[in-house]
Amino acid sequence: MVAGLYPYDLKKSDPDGGFVNSRGNVFAGSESWKTLCKCRDEQSGEREVQGADGVYYTYSAIVYAPKSCPDLKKGDRVQVVSEGKVRVEETVKNFSRDFFHCRIWL
């Protein structure tokens, strides 16, 4: 894989659910981030894309990843990270596995 094509890391939120004890006290869960694959992002401001379901979704960035990227679902929380800095953190609006790559609308 060419390093320049996908210079960043795509990470997915892996929340550890909280719980309520026997006294009714709520304890919040923790959140960790699992690296899925390399990627690149393009910030786009606010644009619309029509999903396969015919609904229009507003997105602020599109992420390109290799075909080996695991499937993502609408609502999954992801980050694009470059050298430890978060470039973008959003929920997945749409995911598409295409001929040469995957596209993820955030």
pLDDT digits (tens, 9 = 90+) for 36-66: 999 999 987 787 877 777 888 788 999 999 9
- Mean pLDDT of all residues in the chain? 87
Q: What is the pLDDT of residue 54?
A: 82
Q: Check residue 19 and give its pLDDT.
A: 67
pLDDT for 29 equals 67
Q: Tally Cβ neighbours within 10 Å of residue 87.
A: 17
> In the chain, which residues have pLDDT < 50?
1-2
| Domain limits, the chain | 8-17+28-94
d(C-alpha 88, C-alpha 8), whole Å: 11
Cβ partners under 8 Å of residue 30, min gap 6: 15, 16
